[in-house]
Chain A
Amino acid sequence: MDNILLGFAQILTLDNMGLCLAGALVGTLVGVLPGLGPLATLAILLPITFGLEPLGALVMLAGVYYGSQYGGSTTAILVNLPGESSSVVTCIDGHEMTKQGRAGEALFMAATGSFMAGCVGTLVIALAAPSIGAFAQQFASPEYTALLIFGLIAAVVIASGSAVEALVLALIGVLLGFVGTDINSGAERYTFGRLELLDGLQFVPLALGFFGIPEIIANLEHPEQRKVLTAKLGSIWPRWPQIKAGLPAMIRGTGLGTMLGVLPGGGALLSSFVSYSVEKRLATDPSRFGKGAVEGVAGPEAANNAGAQTSFIPLLTLGIPSNPVMAIMMGAMILHGIQPGPQVIAKQPELFWGLVASMWMGNLFLLVINLPMIGLWVKLLSVPYRLLFPLIVAIACIGIYSVNNSAFDVFTAMIFGAIGYVFYKLKLQPAPLLLGFIVGPLLEENMRRSLTVSRGDPTVFFTRPISGVLMAGAIVLLLALLLPAIRRGREIALKE
């Protein structure tokens, strides 16, 4: 309780409240506008937060993340365009409700569902994180190595279509993480004699190269037909039967999302898909789904917000990013000189609890931003992409440049952009690469330390109880990849 008060004491300053609101607003704006997902948005905005205090920067970035989720739901419901991938499910019934003149009701369900889930998610973080963090403080380097390996494999295996391809991209990320001076020996690795590479590759040009640039080009290759909203919004206040149907779906969605968000590779996307199929299965009349079922909006929207919240738990307590968005948050923390992990809660309680308090605050702001101001967001939907993307390109360049005032970084982003574009054409998903890049250096450090202590004996990872369990888990996951029967089952599950 004291801790939560400490958090609110941190956050209830004019500066931090302002940053939280600004983040939520910018996030919603970007989520509503076409063409940039939360990943690219966060990467672009990351450099802008450099001048801020670490807490303020994280509060703002977290706000952007939830905001873009919310904004994505708005466009999904109103014009059948998922602003980002976890809103794909919301399109199905949400847009159908809009066609029936029940858009207001769908927006209300999405907003209240998300708010409720956000509150629960925040509470779960506040309750669970300190004990997980305390537990993790007993970890030595073999446990950390095993945890990182398990987390990386689980994240790529659970979250992506082709597991072999995801794994290979994670490894390419790890390889890119080797660039720079080796801390143990001082040797230069993959620097090609460039001074700029001695400190390793910069996170921002890498993230924008692989996510921002290909995304912009892809949008230009497929000029979208934006439909103008013609249907009436309808009243935003639902009637009793809708509440009766929506509320249990919200509660179930919140529960599912809270659990799935903690898993590596979980988070918003997986949560919303699972929630939708659960709602469909539980319904007495499943044929209503796809024709404007309230549960099909309320459940997944609650689930994706709960998942978005609780995916912060592994990052804040163990220092491992469970999905690419968390990799960006981790990148932001490292750029501000904070090494995420169990010591954050113990040594920087004001940062941790401030962030937790800001999550609740951000969700409250979003409710306020979205329900009364929905008309404004609807108008923004009609801004054509041809006016937006040149500005996005310029802002991205300024962002990359301003990290170190380095034109070299802009050139690096171009090179990664070219590779990223080839990946996009060959349908290789770059998300695991970002995870590998962030986790790689930690993995190397801990693995080398463990093996030095054990005099080169690799059984050290298996004989200690915690790391043994984690390694066994990692091996089971790898086997699951290779066994075709399980693989097929997973593909069917993902398709649903």
Chain B
Amino acid sequence: MRLNIRNRRPLYAGLFVIAIGLAGVYFGSGLKFGRAAAMGPGFLPIVCSWLIVALGGIIVAKSLHEDVEIIEPPVPRPVFMIFLAIGLFALLIDRAGLGITVFSTVFVASYAGRAKLLETLILALVGAAASAIVFVVLLGLPLQVWPELG
């Protein structure tokens, strides 16, 4: 039997959901299940995961008969640059201090859109200075502004 998939959106959505549910089942399988009167730590996580898998199946089934929905393809540049900017923040913040970190994050993030070099440099500098003033001086967050030397 050949299935006639008309609508890919629910197909992929359903499969993604099922994958999440199965991951829940797999990583929860080591937990003690118990019984209703004395639930183990794994009882509800496993039940919940299987419910997710089941509902994922219903979503997949929708792909057979509903109208076609369009999935817009991802635009690589914003996706890549935004995640790079956040990753850079996570890597730098404990080592380089707030100033350098914010400067780099703002600079890299700018290139997710249409950036001009000079404007971006100014924006990154202003961002770094402003965040040091607002978060460290005014709000008193315990953040290092400059990298610790030595």
- Please give the residue numbers on chain A whose beta carbons come within 8 Å of chain B beta carbons, in ascending order: 48, 51, 164-165, 167-168, 171-172, 174-175, 178, 182, 184-185, 187, 189-190, 192, 213, 216-217, 220-221, 223, 385-387, 389-391, 393-395, 397-398, 401-402, 405, 407, 410-411, 413-414, 417-418, 421-422, 425-428, 444, 447-448, 451-452, 454-458
Contact = CB atoms under 8 A, between A and B. Distances in A.
Contacts of A223: 113
Nearest to B130: A391
A447 B115 CA distance: 53
B48 A390 contact: no
A317 to B, nearest CB: 26
13 contacts: A165-B59, A172-B17, A172-B52, A175-B24, A390-B85, A390-B123, A394-B106, A395-B131, A402-B143, A405-B142, A410-B89, A413-B86, A451-B37
Contact of A168 (B9, B55, B82, B112): B55
Contacts of B59: 164-165, 168
Nearest to A48: B139
Contacts of B147: none
B52 A422 contact: no
Given A390-B123, A391-B127, A452-B37, A187 B31 contact: yes
B146 interface: no
Contacts of B75: 220-221
A167 B69 CA distance: 20
A448 B59 CA distance: 30
B3 interface: no
Interface in B67-109: 69, 71-72, 74-75, 78-79, 82-83, 85-87, 89-91, 93-94, 98, 102, 105-107, 109
Contacts of B49: 175
B55 A456 contact: no
A178 B44 contact: yes
Contacts of B17: 168, 172, 428
Contact of B131 (A172, A398, A411, A427): A398
Contacts of A187: 31-32, 40-42
Given A165-B13, A187-B40, 15 more contacts: A171-B48, A171-B51, A185-B41, A189-B31, A216-B82, A386-B114, A390-B112, A391-B106, A397-B93, A402-B135, A414-B83, A414-B87, A428-B16, A456-B36, A456-B38
Nearest to B90: A410
B124 interface: yes
Which 3 residue pairs of A and B lie closest in terms of their CB atoms, listed nearest first? A456-B37, A456-B36, A220-B78
B55 A398 contact: no
Main secondary structure of the interface of A (DSSP, over half): helix
B67 to A, nearest CB: 13
Given A189-B28, A394-B109, A168 B41 contact: no
A364 B141 CA distance: 31
Nearest to A426: B13
Q: Which interface residue of B13, B71, B131 has the most chain A CB atoms within 10 A?
A: B13
A46 B35 CA distance: 39
Nearest to B108: A390
Interface residues of B, number: 71
Contacts of B109: 389-390, 393-394
B106 A425 contact: no
A51 B93 contact: no
Nearest to A401: B93
B32 A391 contact: no
Contacts of B43: 448
A428 to B, nearest CB: 6
A56 B56 CA distance: 42
B117 interface: no
Contacts of A394: 89, 102, 105-106, 109, 127, 131
B27 A184 contact: no
B143 to A, nearest CB: 7
A444 B39 CA distance: 10
A425 B35 contact: no
Nearest to B73: A425
Given A390-B127, A458-B36, A444 B44 contact: yes
Nearest to A436: B48
Contacts of A457: 36-37
B140 interface: yes
Interface in B51-68: 51-52, 55-56, 58-59, 62
Given A393-B86, A397-B86, A405-B142, A172 B20 contact: yes
A427 B13 contact: yes
Contacts of B72: 221, 425
Nearest to B98: A398
A451 B85 CA distance: 48
A216 B87 CA distance: 15
Given A164-B58, A187-B41, A395-B131, A390 B106 contact: yes
A457 B42 CA distance: 19
